[in-house]
A and B are shown apart, each in its own frame.
Chain A
């Protein structure tokens, strides 16, 4: 998590640890919902790649 770019980590923490909806994350970060979805996707893929042992 700490290695993720801040904007990706921010969305992921708000979603996974704070259980906020896309709309709520959008409001907090000031980003469009589409951007929230894209950042969540990139964050999760990065972590999945790390978990598989390949470079993120």
Chain B
């Protein structure tokens, strides 16, 4: 793959793959397309380098860019000013809801970007919206299967939970609990950032030789009971603990995965 920053010299296939790699790290691809990208990245040095560079840029922005937290009354103040400025919209008689837009300068589209836009438009056919919560078991298992593709499993490789946990700082708006269960046969392999239920989540990877277990973690929403099941031959167990939602997914047998979960919960 050639450098995709200079349009005239690159092929459309290269730029299409570059956009696909970007969409993959943004969690916008279906499992099948993500697997296709993973296969390409595994076989292409330049593709792997591009993916690494995009991840590095993403990680640096998330770690270093200043974040603005509005004061508690910010929304009320904006609504009040909006009501005063646009009484028709505020009273519900307008034709659409009010929408904030950041000021943007006019932008003349250069011809060098024309091909990019065309390719991006084609890619829309394969960029998927986040799956619905109703299909969450399917989404989690599909993500687990996708992660098993070469180059997808780990963003941070370490058996030290003191290394893995800080790696998520700046990448997530919560601190996932990380445990190492090496002494009882489930060594920590590392972690990665994933995208589920419309939000970034932590994925912790444990070995259960010769199997792998993905443990997904994100802040719990509505209370839910512990449950387990199977999708496409993979078993899962989900539960809530200490304000977090957990999903363990693996090709381990159902009772073996339940044993891991029991150890993790009490470890």
Mark out the residues of chain B between 17 and 54 whose CB falls within 8 Å of any chain A CB in the assembled complex: 18-19, 22-23, 26, 28, 53-54
Is the pair A16, B62 in contact by a Cβ cutoff of 8 Å? yes
Contact surface of B with A, Cβ cutoff 8 Å: 4-5, 18-19, 22-23, 26, 28, 53-54, 56-58, 60-62, 65, 67, 99-105, 107, 113, 116-117, 120-121, 123-124, 127, 129-130, 173, 198-200
Q: How far is the CA of A40 from the CA of B56 in the complex (A)?
A: 14
Q: Which one of B22, B99, B105 contacts A5 once the chains associate, using CB atoms below 8 Å?
A: B105
Partner of B53, one of A16, A33, A34, A48: A48
- The CA of A27 and the CA of B116, in the complex, are separated in Å by 20
| Contact A44:B26 (CB < 8 A) given known A16-B62, A34-B117 | no
Closest to A41 in B: B22
What are 14 contact pairs spanning A and B, CB under 8 A?
Answer: A1-B65, A5-B107, A6-B102, A7-B107, A16-B58, A16-B61, A17-B65, A19-B199, A21-B28, A22-B127, A34-B117, A35-B120, A40-B22, A44-B57
> Inter-chain contact count A-B, CB under 8 Å?
89
A44 close to B54 (CB less than 8 A): yes
With both beta carbons as reference points, the residue of chain B lying nearest to A10 in the complex is identified as B102
Q: Closest residue to A21 on the B side, CB-wise?
A: B130
A21 surroundings in chain B (CB, below 8 A): 28, 129-130, 198
B26, A22: Cβ atoms closer than 8 Å: yes
Looking at the complex, which one of B56, B60, B99, B117 makes contact with A35 (CB distance below 8 Å)?
B117
Q: Chain B's nearest CB lies how many Å from the CB of A9?
A: 9
Given that A16-B62, A38-B116, A45-B5 are contacting pairs, would A33 and B124 also be in contact in the complex, using a CB cutoff of 8 Å? yes
Chain A residues in the interface with B (C-beta under 8 A): 1, 5-7, 10, 12-13, 15-17, 19, 21-23, 28-30, 32-35, 37-38, 40-42, 44-45, 47-49, 51
A5 to chain B, nearest CB (A): 7
Q: How far, in angstroms, from A6 to B147 measured CA to CA in the complex?
A: 35
Q: Is the CB of B200 within 8 A of A6?
A: no
Q: Which residue of B lies closest to A56 (CB)?
A: B5
Q: Which residues of A contact B113 (CB under 8 A)?
A: 38, 42
Given contacts A22-B28, A23-B129, A34-B117, contact A51 B57 (CB under 8 A): yes
Q: What are the residues of chain A within 8 A of B60 when measuring CB–CB?
A: 47, 51
Expressed in whole angstroms, the Cα–Cα distance for A10 and B105 within the complex equals 12
- Residues on A with C-beta less than 8 A from B61 are 1, 12, 16-17, 47
A41 CB contacts on chain B under 8 angstroms: 4, 18-19, 22, 116
The answer to whether B104 touches A7, judged by C-beta atoms less than 8 angstroms apart, is: yes
Does A37 contact B57, Cβ atoms closer than 8 Å? no
A-B residue pairs, 4 tightest by C-beta? A34-B120, A34-B121, A37-B120, A16-B61
- Chain A neighbourhood of B121, CB < 8 A: 32, 34
Who on chain A is nearest to B28 by CB?
A: A22
Chain A residue nearest to B62 (CB atoms) is: A16
Q: Please give, as numbers and ranges, the residues of chain B lying within 8 Å of A17 by CB-CB distance.
A: 61-62, 65, 67
